[in-house]
Structure 1
Amino acid sequence: MAAIKLAGATVNQTPLDWKGNLDRILQAIQEAKSERVDILCFPELAITGYGSEDLFLSYWYPQKALAQLGKLIPFCQDITVAVGLPVRIQDKVYNTVAVIENAELKGFVAKQFMAIDGVHYEFRWFTPWEANQVIDFEFEGKNIPLGDLTFHHRGIQYGFEICEDAWRGKVRPGYRLRDRKVDLIFNPSASHFAMGKTAERKELFEYSSEIFNCYYCYVNLLGNEAGRMIFDGEILLTKSGKTVGRNQLLSFRDFQVFHFELEDKAQNIAPIHPKEWEFVQASALGLFDYLRKSKSNGFVLSLSGGADSSTIAVLVAEMVRRGIKELGLNEFVKKLELSFSPKSDNPEKELVGRLLTTAYQGTKNSSAETYQSAKSLAESLGAVFHFWTIDEEVHSYTAKIETAIGRKLTWEQDDIALQNIQARARSPIIWMLANLKNALLISTSNRSEGDVGYTTMDGDTSGSISPIAAVDKHFIQQWLQWAEKNLDRPGLSYVNSLTPTAELRPLERTQTDEKDLMPYAIIVEIERLAIRDKRSPMDIFLLLNDELGLDQTVLKDYIKKFFRLWSRNQWKRERLAPSFHLDEFNVDPKTWYRFPILSGGFAEELELLDQI
């Protein structure tokens, strides 16, 4: 085999940012050429961005992508470049990779399998290509081959599996590429981040390099491209069942070029981090990209002193810490388009104060412990901290309703209404603060509470972004304990000493979240089986009865409560602010799990539980 150098280039793209997307690709090509790279592979749909949604269905959008390809080709002298883009042929759109060699377009490889599970709806936009089919496609007056192609470069034959192609078992294109005796397979991808997923990829691509007896090079997109999905920017080379090289993931940079020599010995291999580190890295990058791409000036957060809002405050502070560490202070501030001149010897903490404004909005039902928790955390992070009470607003709303209905409201008769008015009364003033600062208001609801509707619409759901809505509360509680030590965040000590509570009932009623609902660890177990695995209530009872060892009556009651609350609260999940996809599954109806707003609520299925 000839001695060649290949590289993957991950890029942080944005739909409709034509100039920016092209500039990042060209900068990566220039860096690769300076490193004397022979073949450079970009991710899937790098020219447009993967998250272009229904723009792919238009006639003009794929045409403009081809025009961008035309601008790109002259910059590919003395290098071979593979770059992803959509191609429309009559009424069908194909997800393709264009291969350019020495400033000449050699062909388009078309994706053969569409991702249709979880967050993916590719069949809505793209048509799968048939194996072994090749046609001529007219581009700039020339007929260019398009379809199931392989290519040669200095004695090396190479081909492509595009993202989902590699996950299709015995029917994947790699087997046909092996029969064609390729030396190298590229996998340009737009593979969304999920905690633990990179370990699955490593296993798949090490296995792929072994069964296909070739080098296998995987290249993923980078960053929070369009709002919800985060891409980790992984670049990975495997050979003979082993990893040869792997880059550091979740970079704050616009692009990374990671190159390899085609030799079997291990080169630069970045470690795979545990879920706790992945969570903070992905969330920090997701917040950074959302902030800069939305052209906002910072974040505003209603900081209750509890687990959810405290998690988010730490994630914003970690965004600043990690961004400065990787980019340097000046470049980090420049990318956010901020005017910032540090006035202290702790610019990181000072910048957190510039970007994060918090407020503790107390009532007569709030405790001194949660106030101290919120205040101490904000001060330790450097965030601006405000404090006010909303009792006057709550009293005003309550008095108007009491006059209208002709009676006093009581906790015995009107519990939910009296709780919710406190949560909702906090929303208008915190929104006002966000508007004044041209900042993003952050919603604090988590996935477990979204499951069962333990969240107040126009209250703790208020916001333009909901970073942890796809993460379960049990994980958040464990992560906070981990973060206090491993992220050196001593301000979390107060948070970690508290029992989660909404603090919406009078203090003498000793309200706690798990007393209102059930243990969060149980919600996680039911949720995984019901939502991720799509099991029936009876299946879940039989499985958990063996695993958990709970009293059967108690377990049945938990399962019934989960499904009844789940069915009743779909409308709430439909209204949640955009959330990041961070775990293996989520309950967002726009990106992962669709459920009818109106339904029979599993009535017959739950009745069966009483018969055993």
Structure 2
Amino acid sequence: MPSSSAPDTFRIALAQANPTVGDVAGNLALARRRRAQAAGQGADLILFTELFLAGYPPEDLVLKPAFQDACREACEALAQDTADGGPDVLVGLPWREGDRLTNAVAHLAGGRVMTVRHKVELPNYGVFDEKRIFHAGALPGPVTVRGVRVGAPICEDIWSDEVVECLAETGAEILLSPNGSPYWRGKHDARVNIVAARVVESGLPLVFLNQVGGQDELVFDGGSFGLNADRSLAFQMPSFSAQLAVVDWTRTSDGWTCVGGAKATVDEDERADYRACVLGLRDYVGKNGFPGVVLGLSGGVDSALCAAMAVDALGAGKVHGVMLPYRYTSDESLADAKACAAALGLRYDVLPIAKAVEGIEASLAGLFTGVGRDVTEENIQARARGAILMSISNKFGSMVVTTGNKSEMSVGYATLYGDMNGGFNPIKDLYKTEVFRLCALRNRWKPDDALGPDGEVIPANILTKQPTAELREGQKDADSLPPYEELDPILIGLVEDEGRVTDLVARGHDGATVRRIERLLHLAEYKRRQAAPGVKVTPRNFGRDRRYPIVNRFLDGG
């Protein structure tokens, strides 16, 4: 039971913010700004996200003693600020004691570090590998914040019942969980279900605070929320947006309850995918200090979607589209690329590649005498385009946006050192059919924070013509691959589901086609290992989620 002096109200500020990995000074400055805002609104406590002062995920950077020291010094400096009588602070950082490094949250109040709690459950699956860098903490008890006993389970600690059960048994009255929970499709519903389970088991209200922003392949979508002890929604913060929310809690005979919390709408499904791609690109460019981006604008659907995402992320003034035509480039593609650039308002240049291609072919003519033309000459075109785009990048500092989709990357329908060139790929984890759907979506809807124009930004003809790489006369993607409506479900079965060939055949797919696609998937592993990073939107992206050996002779289909 609470003591007679225990407070009856508790005002919590929630910093759904966008820290940067390694920018300890910048993250400290951001924490100070958010705390000042919270103080102005009379908050008792401000909660920050997992490893906030370090940025999340810091990966092996966190093993550097100098980095650990910088994070501890920032924590001490923030603690000193709390001598002003303003809000207490719960902030995440790496914490070293002797030879043990933990993922921790520190309670700062009265000008000092009051206590520290350590993450118990270290995720070691998918994109997470915390067991190789952190030690697990002991089961925690609550911390006392202005007379309220607060449990602070860190991220994965709420995905099983042990930590929350311990907090409830040791007297916690309310659970505040700092998170670095990356986006993938359907993740918000999974979080709500997990939080609801912990609330039912503990009988305590739970606040789920998530960071927002892009970090390499990962995008953190925010979407922070809280559930009351009866599982009713206490509040809901928006997704993909940095905000400070102040939430009031009242003590009743049944414990702490939040009434009247704001309930924002959370983007889901294709809208969430689009916003994730835009945010991931925006932060990759901005946090790495590029002045803008350049991309090949071919008149096809992939480059059109990437251009729209780039303009929405950065503004048209920071996006440079370049058409790189050769003899196989159709008048239709030239017109479509020009129309797309005009609709988006970006800079657009046409740089023919004939001299570059013919120069390379001339250099190789003696060596290639007597050998027929084949895909080699097609790849020379792609590599000439890649070299030109990289030269523009070198000269002006803009980053090359890579524009290949997941269907192409799955089966190797891409050229190393050609169209695979670039620094970042916003559509890397989208299958071709999903690219078409997101183009149609963007033509009828624009995110509130997008910097691009309203209305149709991807010309209708781009969405209706047959996809083609235009590397030889009359070429169509369907000449080399099954129709994407057939290919993508096979790839989803092989990549996302790790399905058996026999299972896919049982679903109605042609056995020879499935075996061919499986073989192409394996052969392209060496290409994917060299591909640019890109936004993760599925639970099984190429890279951190799916780690296959390049040298690999196993084929399920024989």
Report the TM-score, using the length of structure 2 for normalisation: 0.91
One-letter amino acid of the counterpart of residue 606, structure 1 = G
Deviations 1:222-261 (A, max 9, x none): 2124x2212123321111212211112212x5xx211111
What is the alpha-carbon distance in structure 2 between the residues aligned to residue 368 and residue 398 of structure 1?
24
Report % sequence identity.
Answer: 25
Equivalent in the alignment of 2:300: 306
User: 150, 169, 172: which is aligned to 1:158?
Assistant: 150
What is the alpha-carbon distance in structure 1 between the residues aligned to residue 279 and residue 268 of structure 2?
17
User: 263, 269, 273: which is aligned to 2:267?
Assistant: 273
- Describe how 1:8-19 pairs up with structure 2 within 5 A: 8-19=14-25
Equivalent in the alignment of 1:513: 477
What is the alpha-carbon distance in structure 1 between the residues aligned to residue 439 and residue 311 of structure 2?
14
Deviates more, 1:442-451 or 1:429-438: 429-438
Q: Quick check: 1:235–1:258 contact (8 Å CA) kept in 2?
A: no
Q: Quick check: 2:297–2:303 contact (8 Å CA) kept in 1?
A: yes
User: 185, 191, 212: which is aligned to 2:202?
Assistant: 212
What is the alpha-carbon distance in structure 2 between the residues aligned to residue 47 and residue 495 of structure 1?
45
3-state SS in 2 of match to 1:403 = coil
Q: Quick check: 2:247–2:258 contact (8 Å CA) kept in 1?
A: no
Following superposition, the deviation at residue 180 of structure 1 comes to 3.0
3-state SS in 1 of match to 2:365 = helix
3-state SS in 2 of match to 1:467 = coil
What is the alpha-carbon distance in structure 1 between the residues aligned to residue 143 and residue 97 of structure 2?
23
1:575 equivalent to 2:542? Answer: no
1:58 equivalent to 2:9? Answer: no
Q: Quick check: 2:270–2:438 contact (8 Å CA) kept in 1?
A: yes
Deviations 1:413-437 (A, max 9, x none): x2x2122111111111122222222
3-state SS in 2 of match to 1:587 = coil
One-letter amino acid of the counterpart of residue 23, structure 2 = D
1:200 equivalent to 2:209? Answer: no
Q: Quick check: 2:49–2:178 contact (8 Å CA) kept in 1?
A: yes
What is the alpha-carbon distance in structure 1 between the residues aligned to residue 340 and residue 93 of structure 2?
46
- Describe how 1:369-518 pairs up with structure 2 within 5 A: 369-407=332-370, 409-410=372-373, 414=374, 416-487=375-446, 488-507=455-474, 511-518=475-482
One-letter amino acid of the counterpart of residue 290, structure 1 = Y
1:149 equivalent to 2:141? Answer: yes
What is the alpha-carbon distance in structure 1 between the residues aligned to residue 478 and residue 203 of structure 2?
53
Equivalent in the alignment of 2:247: 260
What is the alpha-carbon distance in structure 2 between the residues aligned to residue 172 and residue 360 of structure 1?
57
Following superposition, the deviation at residue 468 of structure 1 comes to 1.2
3-state SS in 2 of match to 1:482 = helix
What is the alpha-carbon distance in structure 2 between the residues aligned to residue 215 and residue 408 of structure 1?
73
Following superposition, the deviation at residue 130 of structure 1 comes to 3.3
3-state SS in 2 of match to 1:51 = coil
Deviates more, 1:287-296 or 1:297-306: 287-296
What is the alpha-carbon distance in structure 1 between the residues aligned to residue 121 and residue 231 of structure 2?
24
What is the alpha-carbon distance in structure 2 between the residues aligned to residue 59 and residue 528 of structure 1?
42
Equivalent in the alignment of 1:536: 500
What is the alpha-carbon distance in structure 2 between the residues aligned to residue 151 and residue 451 of structure 1?
49
Q: Quick check: 1:402–1:408 contact (8 Å CA) kept in 2?
A: no
Equivalent in the alignment of 2:110: 102
What is the alpha-carbon distance in structure 2 between the residues aligned to residue 179 and residue 406 of structure 1?
80
Equivalent in the alignment of 1:315: 309
Following superposition, the deviation at residue 154 of structure 1 comes to 4.8
Deviations 1:310-346 (A, max 9, x none): 11100012124xxxxxxxxxxxxxxxxxxxxxxxxxx
What is the alpha-carbon distance in structure 2 between the residues aligned to residue 521 and residue 166 of structure 1?
39
What is the alpha-carbon distance in structure 2 between the residues aligned to residue 150 and residue 167 of structure 1?
18
Following superposition, the deviation at residue 66 of structure 1 comes to 1.2
What is the alpha-carbon distance in structure 1 between the residues aligned to residue 206 and residue 97 of structure 2?
30
Q: Quick check: 1:358–1:378 contact (8 Å CA) kept in 2?
A: yes
Deviations 1:139-192 (A, max 9, x none): xxxxxxxxx121234553221221111112xx4311222323422111101111
Equivalent in the alignment of 1:36: 42
One-letter amino acid of the counterpart of residue 506, structure 1 = E
Deviates more, 1:522-531 or 1:359-368: 522-531
Detail structure 1 runs of 4+ shifted over 6 Å in the superposition: none
What is the alpha-carbon distance in structure 2 between the residues aligned to residue 365 and residue 99 of structure 1?
64
Q: Quick check: 1:206–1:242 contact (8 Å CA) kept in 2?
A: no
1:594 equivalent to 2:554? Answer: no
Specify whether residues 365 and 172 from structure 1 end up closer, same or farther in structure 2 by C-alpha distance, changes over 3 A only.
farther
3-state SS in 2 of match to 1:87 = strand
Following superposition, the deviation at residue 108 of structure 1 comes to 0.9
Q: Quick check: 1:372–1:494 contact (8 Å CA) kept in 2?
A: no
RMSD: 1.9
Q: Quick check: 2:213–2:283 contact (8 Å CA) kept in 1?
A: yes
Q: Quick check: 1:205–1:216 contact (8 Å CA) kept in 2?
A: yes
Equivalent in the alignment of 1:119: 127
Report the TM-score, using the length of structure 1 for normalisation: 0.83
What is the alpha-carbon distance in structure 2 between the residues aligned to residue 366 and residue 404 of structure 1?
27
Following superposition, the deviation at residue 597 of structure 1 comes to 0.8
Equivalent in the alignment of 2:3: none
One-letter amino acid of the counterpart of residue 384, structure 1 = R
Instruction: Give 5+ residue unaligned stretches, structure 2.
Output: 1-6, 250-256, 447-454
One-letter amino acid of the counterpart of residue 325, structure 2 = G
Following superposition, the deviation at residue 300 of structure 1 comes to 0.4
Deviates more, 1:437-446 or 1:10-19: 10-19
Q: How many residues align?
A: 534
Equivalent in the alignment of 1:348: none
Deviations 1:549-594 (A, max 9, x none): 34xxxx2122211221111111101111121222222012xx2211
